[in-house]
Amino acid sequence: MNVYDSTRMEDVMKQDGYVSTSNISDADLVVLNPCHIREKAAEKLYSELGRLQRDKTPKPMIAVAGCVAQAEQEEIARRAPYVDIIVGPQSYHRLPKLVADIEASKVKGDRKRSIDIDFPLESKFDLLPPVQARSVSAFLTIQEGCDKFCSFCVVPYTRGAEFSRPVDSVLQEAKKLMGDGASEVTLLGQNVNAYSGDTKGLAGLIRKLSQIRGLERIRYTTSHPRDMDKELIAAHGEITQLMPYLHLPIQSGSDDLLKKMNRQHTAEDYLKVIEAVRDVRPDIALSSDFIIGHPGESERDFEQTLQLIETVGFAQAYSFKYSPRPGTPASTISEQVPEDIKSVRLEILQNLLNKQQREFNTRFLGQSVPVLFDRKGKLPGQIAGRSPHMQAVHVNCKESEEVDKYFGRTVNVRITGAFRKSLTGTIEHTAL
Ligand code: SAH
Ligand code: SF4
């Protein structure tokens, strides 16, 4: 979502004549838009700010956006007093005004900080300029925020309460993206399947999106097990554009720990959802998130997480050491798990997940897979894209002109190599 938000900030600044640059030394305004979910992500902000301050002359205007801005306004002012703008995730449509305020204060000779971390009543989506597709594969935020308050998580505090964009606004944005040449859309939300902008929920929206001409592939992320309703599960078996990939975080396989996490579901609830999805879409690629070392995690809890992974068999997954976040209930629990135990458990868990990922990819050897090519490689002739199951697929074309021919299109690829994080193959010319 930070990537989506950054592109929207770019769109809004373009209206004021700003253009983006890939060379930081050309920038008059630098916007950093980091994630606050774990401490490591948030800390990157300060090292990046330090580098900017050290290396860059003349000094550009610096804005910090996103959830870190929302949560750490005072910390930013203390650790990086030269930051000009602090703007939260729900108010970045006002960035041009904040920039103008800084310009005006500079003219007056008293450069001061502009801050906007409101949760305004107006929706930024109604006020942002029309979106522009940057790739054949586009992100589209449909839902934000969270009302679930898991013990460890900052999202409800930084992104605010659950909010869904009205269905018409989403459809309009999707049509614009397709008109610009995109053919895949990934619907975004911190709880994307809690979407309530359509009377039939996320499934209703996906059905409407599937009617849009040119929209070949639909994905969504991130979903919560409790919000996987029957309609959404059925959609996986019925809508051909809905790709066979589901990212469904569970965090832990232990009911005791899930309770401590305030997840409001059990391991069995999760397994039932997986079973129902596999009933309608047996080949679905499953992904998840795991937190290792949440306060109170015992050896037995951890074993149960490994057991759940064995039972499900994931195509890929994200796993993180628990990171105490300011203001969350879990950060004040006394039974914190020592760092060295977290590290050992994380390694064991990742070894198992990596093995499953390799096995999943190996199954595709020799198969023909439709790949949507959205990236050109560094060397001539190299092109890459994604399979329906979300695997990265790399192809070396015989002629470098072929890259332009296939770029932006879905082309069948015969898989000849399977690795943990990617597949390789050759173009099947017959499919063109
Ligand atoms: N709404 C989704 C998750 C969104 S947050 C869900 O409930 O499943 C994305 C992921 O970040 C989470 O799934 C979790 O695994 C991770 N995460 C959140 N807070 C964390 C923390 N304090 N420490 C480590 N990982 C965390
Ligand atoms: Fe965070 Fe997801 Fe829990 Fe909401 S449901 S608090 S976003 S982990």
Average pLDDT for 135-143: 97
Residues 376 and 263 in one domain: no
Q: Among all ligands shown, which has an atom nearest to the Cα of 328?
A: 1
Residues 22 and 151 in one domain: no
The reply to whether ligand 1 has any atom less than 6 angstroms from the CB of 194 is no
Residues 163 and 302 in one domain: yes
Residues 278 and 410 in one domain: no
The reply to whether ligand 1 has any atom less than 6 angstroms from the CB of 287 is no
| Residue 82's CATH number | 3.40.50.12160
pLDDT tens sequence across 159-198? 999 999 999 999 999 999 999 999 999 999 999 999 999 9
- Report pTM: 0.95
Question: What is the pLDDT, as a whole number, of residue 273?
Answer: 98
Query: Residue for token digits 């804005």?
Result: 63
Give the total number of structural domains in the chain: 3
The reply to whether ligand 1 has any atom less than 6 angstroms from the CB of 37 is yes
Residue range(s) defining the domain that contains residue 132? 124-361
| Residue 411's CATH number | 2.40.50.140
* Residue 210 · residue 239 · CB < 8 Å: yes
Residues 147 and 250 in one domain: yes
**Ligand 2 mean position to 263 CA, how many Å?**
8
Which token pair is 129? 């300029």
Residues 158 and 204 in one domain: yes
Residue 12 host element (H or E)? helix 2-14
Helices (H), 281-378: 299-312, 339-362
**Ligand 1 mean position to 42 CA, how many Å?**
14
Question: What is the pLDDT, as a whole number, of residue 432?
Answer: 43
pLDDT tens sequence across 13-42? 999 999 999 888 899 999 999 999 999 888
**Ligand 1 mean position to 62 CA, how many Å?**
28
* Ligand 2 atom 1, closest CA: 153
Residues 163 and 294 in one domain: yes
- At 371, is the secondary structure helix, strand, or coil? strand
Question: What is the pLDDT, as a whole number, of residue 11?
Answer: 95
| Residue 255's CATH number | 3.80.30.20
Query: Residue for token digits 């919000």?
Result: 227
Listed residues 329, 361, 393: the one ending a domain: 361
**Binding pocket residue ranges, ligand 2, CB within 6 Å:** 146, 148-150, 153, 155-156, 190-191, 224
pLDDT tens sequence across 334-347? 899 999 999 999 99
Residues 397 and 269 in one domain: no
Residues 395 and 338 in one domain: no
